[in-house]
Amino acid sequence: MKPEEELKRLNRLIRQFEAVYKSTGDPYQRDRVSRELKKLKDYRGKVESFHLIDQEALKEPAAEDELQGFPFLRDLLAGGTKKEFADKEILHLFLYFSYFEKEFLPLLSEKKLKLDFKYSLERDGFYHRFANLNRQYLDYEEDAARLGQYQGQHEDEMRRRNVKMKRNLILEMNRFFKRLETFTNDLVEDIEAEGLKCLNSSDGLHFDALEGNKYLNGLTVHEALVRVNAFSTEVIAYLNVPNIAPQE
């Protein structure tokens, strides 16, 4: 990897953790993120000191104001998608959802993340919860695609139904990532206290060509859990859901 590419990668990580630092009120999480930021910035300083850097190659398109504080989303939007969305918010949810499934969900397996009995059960439950969330998203998408088939009163009824389905999807997505944020935060806190909840925290993560996962590749399990926690925090901040129950 060229030094400019490595610096761009580091800059993205630093922005992600800076966003988490600003959005969380948890003193422990702020302390942990602060330490992670220091490590990343120290490493960035070493890369800059050992290489002659082309500053033009480091420039990235200016982020829109609405994306401030959401570095994962900004990068995902820059990557684009082949799907078309009439609703910008649903596009953003789709990008978060798809990225989690591709890059983070594989970590939540017995092969990659070895935990004690209690946390193993909770880890395994995330696959079931994610499958249910995926079905709910597909139901919403299918319902939205049918809207143009109705007219008059039926169209109004279908639009109200679709709005309710979207609201419930957002609520369930928020519930999923809040649970994941708590789960990963508990594990990271225990690892850094030299506890025994995670049995392979220092193991390196490697994904084969078929798995195609790159973001966590080469990180330790501990580092990967910190990244998942940061991603979850950003999604929760983006959804900005009050504490209300879904409507039937």
Instruction: Write out pLDDT tens, residues 167-184.
Output: 999 999 999 999 999 999
Structural domain boundaries in the chain: 1-60, 85-239
Q: How far apart are CA 30 and CA 79, in angstroms?
A: 29
Per-residue pLDDT band for 151 (boundaries 50, 70, 90) equals low
Alpha-carbon span 187 to 195, nearest angstrom: 9
The predicted-structure confidence for 97-144, as pLDDT tens digits, reads as follows: 999 999 999 999 999 999 999 999 999 999 999 999 999 999 998 888
Nearest one of 190, 213, 216 to 205, comparing CA atoms: 216
Distance CA 126, CA 104 (A): 11
pLDDT digits (tens, 9 = 90+) for 139-148: 998 888 877 6
pLDDT tier for residue 248 given thresholds of 50, 70 and 90: very low
Write the pLDDT tens digit of every residue in 177-226.
999 999 999 999 999 999 999 999 999 999 887 776 688 999 999 999 99
**Helix and strand totals (H; E) in the chain:** 8, 0
Q: What is the pTM (predicted TM-score) of this model?
A: 0.74
- Closest by CA to 26, choosing from 171, 172, 178, is 178
Rounded CA separation 188/223 (Å): 9
- As a whole number of angstroms, the distance between CA 9 and CA 243 comes to 35
